[in-house]
Amino acid sequence: MMTWRAISAFTIVAAALMFSGCESRGVGGSKQSTEFIRTSCSATSYPTLCYTSLSAHAAAIQQNPKLLAHAALSVSLDTAVATSADMAKLSRAAGMTPREAGAMRDCVEELADSVDQIRKSIAELKRITPSNFEAVISDAQTWVSAALTDEDTCMDGFAGKVMAGGMKTAVRGKIVNVAHMTSNALALINTYATLH
């Protein structure tokens, strides 16, 4: 029979291996991990998007709120980086009105800021310890909130009649998706903060 200390040490080593990206199939039971993700995602504003974007990472997340928050931020960062690149390409498209071109330029800048802020929040989470928890989690929440504000501002730039037709639909669809991802990441960080 394992002692409590041995169990704790095993748990810490297993979590460290998961966090470093090592694949370990079935550790902790994938069914429990996916159920943990589903339950955690129910507290977000976009639970279906949350679950579909994170369930593929169940083996790495296990049932750990910190790893869940980190995975949500990583997925949000990947989406923001891809969207930022797409918007930079779209901003160079010919035939836009000056107002459309201005909104696109602003959006590209805001998304670049958003990517930077999500990166900072990931870096913050990596340096969290029991002694600095409150200060670090507060910084991470601030960065993610700022990223979400930038994404919302970008979306606002395409409200009303700034842009018509397919371009507006494509742009808003991309921005809405990344904003929803970031919103979910913030909700999961807030849950992690509360659980601590």
pLDDT tens string 113-160: 999 999 999 999 999 999 999 999 999 999 999 999 999 998 888 777
Instruction: Categorize the per-residue pLDDT at 64 as very low, low, confident or very high, splitting at 50, 70 and 90.
Output: very high
Instruction: Categorize the per-residue pLDDT at 54 as very low, low, confident or very high, splitting at 50, 70 and 90.
Output: very high
pLDDT at 22 over 60: no
pLDDT at residue 130, rounded to an integer: 92
pLDDT at residue 186, rounded to an integer: 97
Residue 16: inside a domain, yes or no?
no
Residue 115: inside a domain, yes or no?
yes
Here the tokens at position 13 are 């080593």
Query: 43-46: which pairs have CB atoms within 8 A and are 24 or more residues apart?
Result: 43/187, 43/188, 43/191, 44/183, 44/184, 44/187, 44/188, 45/180, 45/183, 45/184, 45/187, 46/180, 46/183, 46/184
CATH of the domain at 153: 1.20.140.40
The count of domains in the chain is 1
The whole domain housing 160 covers 28-195
Q: What is the C-alpha to C-alpha distance for residues 36 and 38, in angstroms, rounded to an integer?
A: 6
Q: What is the C-alpha to C-alpha distance for residues 30 and 182, in angstroms, rounded to an integer?
A: 25
Residue 72: inside a domain, yes or no?
yes
pLDDT at 23 over 90: no
Instruction: Categorize the per-residue pLDDT at 111 as very low, low, confident or very high, splitting at 50, 70 and 90.
Output: very high
Residue 162: inside a domain, yes or no?
yes
Residue 7: inside a domain, yes or no?
no
- Please state which of the ranges 12-16, 40-44, 54-58, 190-194 shows the lowest mean pLDDT: 12-16
pLDDT at 59 over 60: yes
Here the tokens at position 117 are 């802020």
